[in-house]
Amino acid sequence: MTRLHKLNVPIKKDQVDALREQFEQLQGNILKGFGKKNSIFIFLEFKNSESFQAQAQQWIRDFAPQITSAQYQIDDKKEGYTDRLCRSFFISAKGYEYFGLLNLSNLQKPFKDDEAFCFGMRSAKNKLQDSSPIHWEKGYQKKIHAMILLTCNNIDELQKEQTNVLSQIGNFSIICLIEHGQVLFKCGKYVEPFGYADSISLPIFFEADIPREEDIVWRPGPGVGPSLVLVPDPHGKQDRGKNGLVTKHYHSGSYIVFRKLQQDVDEFKTRLERYANNVGLSKEAAAARIIGRYQNGTPLIRSSLRSLQDDLNNFNYDDDPDGDICPLNAHIRKMNPRNNSNIPRIVRRSIPYNDKEKSESGGVGLLFTCYQNNITAHFQRLQKWANKPNYPQHGAGVDSIISQPEQDSYSKRDQQLTFYDLVTLRGGEYFFAPSIYTLEHFGET
């Protein structure tokens, strides 16, 4: 049987039942998003003693059967999407080190193929031009070992579960911080705080979810298999040869990037109006040049073959090589030039937040979350593209909205179309999503 982390084509309809055991052990929200209206992220540090470590391991084993699996999502779709609460659990490299499963002073397997994960987000400061961790929110400056995700449409049920979980883990862990996310809707679509439709162009892993392939110019789905986002879970069920080496991994996991991105919405509106006046465009047209899409999701450029109003992904930039229609540094073009198959891909599962509800000094923004099979090769590579004016093509300019460029690294042509200083990193970490099997047997010898 093909392992999910080796499958490099979309999952066919007749494979779903045969892959059931693997789906049952794979955490949800990876191959398909949970799609709930409200989310809570709990960040923990485990207390330092053998007794606390044993308590943490036991709690993880007890919590594991409650984690939402990929198979649950498949069954839930068949039932017409129920409103039940979903749960996930992730471990950082520091967390694996705490449990004695990773030696960060002498990197070897199981995670040596992704150094970004092993060294954590803080160590990426110089590579990605991130803000210094001393400027992050205090909770993110702590030693984060794990993250719990709870998500549900019913906010009362979600808050009740938060209280329940906190009562279970309080004895052996320190709560670094808790984040609350809530989806924003505009004209019936999910939007991010600047007002743009979000989660439009995402990889599609199930053949049944791929739209018909008539007159395809570019599409995020065909040819995308779960190997894009999954890797063997190094602590999952294994077969070993006579020499003791692993010959087969049965279960899969995924690497997660979590970043709290604060967005200055008021200044964005002010600057957008000024930019629109300077270039003689409506605010709607000016806003589209920043992202590469109008705020309703319609791309600036359309396929020369057809222009379907309900098809927001079937286009490329072949007829606009110089960026006359869609600027080269517009966000969606910079991150995905749609011209080859070697483009780094991530699976975004982000949700907006609003800290103004907590205090007058709080901000709004995005709890950015993405899955991939390697953080170094995907997320970090994309962020480097965003920061450099000549990636992924010469003269592209820095990304208009998410770049963190070195001083004076962008050209004069980009200065009008640069809003990157309106997005600020407030903290975050890298994690791994182990298989449910691993968590059910966590710490067992």
Measured CA to CA, the distance from residue 69 to residue 131 in angstroms comes to 35
Q: Which fold has domain 4-26+35-238+432-440?
A: Alpha-Beta Plaits (3.30.70)
Residues 6+ apart with CB under 8 A from 28: 34, 67, 68, 69, 70, 72, 73, 86, 88
| Torsion sign, CA atoms 254, 225, 336, 301 | negative
Q: How far apart are CA 84 and CA 36, in angstroms?
A: 9
* Residues 357-395 as b or e (16 or more Cβ within 10 Å = b): eeeeeebbbbbbbbbbbbbbbbbbbbbbbbbbbebbeee
CATH 3.30.70.1030 in the chain, residue ranges: 4-26+35-238+432-440
Q: C-alpha angle 226/152/155, rounded to 5°?
A: 160
331's CB contacts (< 8 A; 6+ apart) are 290, 291, 292, 399, 400, 401, 402
The number of beta carbons lying within 10 Å of the beta carbon of residue 270 is 11
Three-class SS of the chain: CCCHHHCCCCECHHHCCCCHHHHHHCECCCCCCCCCCEEEEEEEEECCCHHHHHHHHHHHHHHHHHCCEHHHHHHHHHCCCCCCCEEEEEECHHHHHHCCCCCCCCCCCCCCCCHHHHHCCHHHHHHHCCCCHHHCCHHHHCCCCEEEEEEECCHHHHHHHHHHHHHHHCCCEEEEEEEEEECEEECCEEECCCCCECCCCCCCCEHHHCCCCCCCCCCCCCCCCHHHCCEECCCCCEEECCCCCEEEECCEEEEEEEEEEEECHHHHHHHHHHHHHHHCCCHHHHHHHHHCECCCCCECCCCCCCCCCCCCCCCCCCCCCCCCCCCCCCHHHHHCCCCCCCCCCCEECCEEEEHHHCCCCCCEEEEEEEEECCCCCCHHHHHHHHHCCCCCCCCCCCCCCCCCCCCCCCCHHHHCCCCHHHEEEEEEEEEEECCHHHHHCCCCC
Q: If we measure between CA atoms, which residue out of 33, 119, 45 comes closest to residue 81?
A: 33
Q: Could you report how far apart the first and last alpha carbons of the chain are, in Å?
A: 28
Dihedral angle, C-alpha 203, 207, 211, 213, nearest 10 °: 100
Hey, what's the torsion of the CAs at 118, 114, 86, 348, to 10 degrees? 120
Q: Does 222 sit behind a cis peptide bond, omega within 30 degrees of 0 on the bond before it?
A: no
Give Cα 136 to chain centroid, integer Å.
Answer: 19
What is the structure's pLDDT at 291? 93
From first to last of its 445 residues, the chain has per-residue pLDDT tens of: 789 999 999 999 999 999 999 999 999 999 999 999 999 999 999 999 999 999 999 999 999 999 999 999 999 876 656 788 999 999 999 999 999 998 877 666 667 788 999 999 999 999 999 999 999 999 999 999 999 999 999 999 999 999 999 999 999 999 999 999 999 988 778 999 999 999 888 888 998 887 765 555 555 544 589 999 999 999 888 766 556 555 567 899 999 999 999 999 999 999 999 999 988 999 999 999 999 999 989 899 864 334 444 567 878 898 899 999 999 999 999 999 888 767 899 999 999 999 876 666 679 999 999 999 999 999 999 999 999 998 877 888 899 999 988 755 544 444 556 788 999 999 999 999 999 999 999 998 6
